[in-house]
Amino acid sequence: MALVNSFDSFIFDYGGVLVQPQSDSAQAAMAKIVNAPLDRFHDLYWARRIDYDKGALTADEYWHDVARQTGAPLDAAAIEELIRIDTTGWMQFDEVMWSWLAELRQQGKRLAMLSNMPRELGEALKTQTDRLQVFDFVTLSYELHVVKPDAAIYEQCLEGLDATPDRTIFFDDKIENVQGAEQLGMRAIQFLDRDHILLQVR
């Protein structure tokens, strides 16, 4: 029996699961604006990303913090361009996964998205796309000021989805987030190879 038949509710992370990871070219374009080598920029980009995703930092504060460490001056236009590149870079949709979401809905499954993401990306998804309409419930970290793997964000998503942990399967590319879901009793799968995972669960 396919694993999909064992669950009523499906919760998906966003980045690295429903969209491709941000490309090297997008990272390089942002690195150039803040005058940092690509490997150095990567470290700076993620150093306080969790605070940005949590809504503890505004976009201005986040990007000024990155640039402060490279000595690059940033004006409003530069920050706007960084936000544009960053947001667009996280909107490279994996159509195979979105087709599967549609299949799951046709089968009567309940679907949610649970993601750590900054306000700028979340609002772009809401206003520039119709992607979120496939879900019965969406939990975004910047709206709650809580990030995975904090138990509270999973609990909010389960409650909103009207789902029980034992009948819910969760997909995330980060092992710490998978473990956070498992601690609440969900079946959780680390999303590293899309084709292999779909072969497992379908």
Is this structure's pTM higher than 0.85?
Answer: yes
Task: Note down the domain range covering 74.
Answer: 24-89
Residues 79 and 115 grouped into a single domain: no
Q: What is the CATH number of the domain that holds 10?
A: 3.40.50.1000
Q: How would you write the pLDDT of the chain (202 residues) with one tens digit per residue?
A: 478 899 999 999 999 999 999 999 999 999 999 999 999 999 999 999 999 999 999 999 999 999 999 999 999 999 999 999 999 999 999 999 999 999 999 999 999 999 999 999 999 999 999 999 999 999 999 999 999 999 999 999 999 999 999 999 999 999 999 999 999 999 999 999 999 999 989 8
- Regarding whether 196 and 140 lie in a shared domain, the answer is yes
Looking at 89, 113, 137, the residue that finishes a domain is: 89
Mind giving me the DSSP string for 134-199? Answer: G-SEEEEHHHHT--TTSHHHHHHHHHHHT--GGGEEEEESSHHHHHHHHHTT-EEEE-S-HHHHHH
Beta-bridged to residue 168, according to DSSP, are 9
Residues 51 and 149 in one domain: no
According to the model, what pLDDT value does residue 52 have?
98
Do residue 64 and residue 107 come from a single domain?
A: no
106 and 190 housed in the same domain: yes
d(Cα 149, Cα 178) in Å, to the nearest integer?
Answer: 8
Report the SS3 class of residue 117.
coil
* Cα separation, 179 vs 56, whole angstroms: 24
Amino acid, single-letter form, for residue 34:
V
37 and 116 belong to one structural domain: no
3-31 in b/e burial notation, b at 16+ Cβ within 10 A?
Answer: ebeebbbbbbbbbbbbbbebeeebbebbb
Q: Are 148 and 172 in contact (CB under 8 A)?
A: yes
Under a CB-based contact definition with an 8 Å cutoff, are residues 197 and 100 in contact? Answer: no
Which amino acid does the sequence have at 104? Answer: L
Look at residues 54, 27, 77 and name the one whose alpha carbon lies nearest to residue 153. 54
Does 33 lie in the same domain as 117?
A: no
Same domain, 45 and 8: no
Instruction: Please name which of 4, 74, 9, 3 lies closest in space to residue 36, comparing C-alpha atoms.
Output: 74
Q: Are residues 63 and 120 in the same domain?
A: no
Note whether 96 and 128 are same-domain residues.
Answer: yes
Determine the pLDDT at residue 176. 98
Report how many domains make up the chain. 2
